């Protein structure tokens, strides 16, 4: 049981570092509340499940092809820049009345979270390194049933972090002034644009070999 909880802790620690998804969750929680923040994180978790499956079945090497890497960097750039700019633009109406601006649907929010994660080559490398090492360590000591259980524990950790971020970001919106809400939304948007610029730079490096 102690090993199971250690893998839950691993899942929490994997989700905690600031990245595009955390920035997007803060933005959605501040603007739209708990469910939008939670759903964008849920979309990310579904993408991460696919990464875990790719590592487990060994198909992740297909993503090592330079063309695929370049495509993912470029598509990730587009998704993050679009999301970041949309966050900044939509924040302009928050000072007047932060309850009256248009909400995006939960379906589109889920899709956005999924796309941000699935097009993030850093996530692919991250899960290749982290889950790959977990898989190598676990498979030599336990059977396939334990492997599935401990993989599930990592997902539980990710989901706990998702709920925590949704609670924190949606909870803070009740105590912040419209001006502060606007500032946080702009900051989240700039953060996502920053990741987008980084992704674009990595794509150019791959394409032009500099």
Instruction: Count CB atoms within 10 A of the CB of residue 118.
Output: 20
Model confidence at 178: pLDDT above 50: yes
**pTM for this model (two decimals):** 0.73
What is the predicted pLDDT for the residue at 191? 83
Contact at 8 Å (CB) between 188 and 87?
yes
How is residue 14 written in tokens? 């994997």
How wide is the angle at C-alpha 110 spanned by C-alphas 130 and 56, nearest 5°? 30
Could you give the CA distance from residue 153 to residue 124 in angstroms, rounded to a whole number? 19
Could you give the CA distance from residue 154 to residue 168 in angstroms, rounded to a whole number? 21
Domain that holds residue 179: 2-208
Task: State pLDDT tens for residues 1-10.
Answer: 666 787 787 7
What is the separation of C-alpha 178 from the centre of its chain, rounded to a whole number of angstroms?
26
CA distances from 108 to 26, 123, 193 (A): 17, 21, 19
How is residue 12 written in tokens? 């929490």
Task: State pLDDT tens for residues 95-135.
Answer: 544 454 556 788 889 999 999 888 877 777 667 666 666 66
Could you give the CA distance from residue 43 to residue 138 in angstroms, rounded to a whole number? 27
Number of domains in the chain: 1
């Amino acid at each position: 049981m102690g090993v199971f909880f250690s893998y839950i802790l691993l899942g929490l620690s994997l989700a905690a570092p600031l990245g595009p998804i955390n920035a997007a969750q803060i933005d959605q929680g501040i603007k739209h509340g708990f469910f939008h923040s939670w759903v964008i994180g849920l979309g990310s978790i579904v993408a991460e499940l696919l990464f875990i499956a790719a590592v487990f079945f060994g198909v992740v090497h297909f993503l090592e092809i330079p063309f695929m890497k370049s495509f993912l960097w470029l598509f990730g750039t587009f998704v993050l820049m679009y999301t970041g700019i949309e966050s900044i633009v939509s924040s302009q109406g928050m000072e007047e009345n932060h309850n009256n601006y248009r909400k995006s649907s939960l379906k589109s929010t889920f899709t956005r979270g999924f796309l941000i994660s699935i097009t993030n080559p850093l996530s692919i490398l991250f899960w290749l390194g982290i889950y790959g090492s977990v898989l190598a360590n676990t498979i030599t000591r336990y059977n396939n049933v334990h492997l599935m259980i401990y993989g599930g524990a990592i997902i539980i950790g990710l989901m706990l972090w998702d709920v925590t971020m949704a609670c924190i970001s949606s909870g803070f919106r009740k105590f912040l002034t419209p001006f502060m809400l606007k500032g946080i939304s702009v900051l989240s948007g700039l953060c996502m644009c920053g990741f987008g610029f980084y992704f674009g730079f990595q794509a150019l490096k791959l394409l032009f070999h500099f």
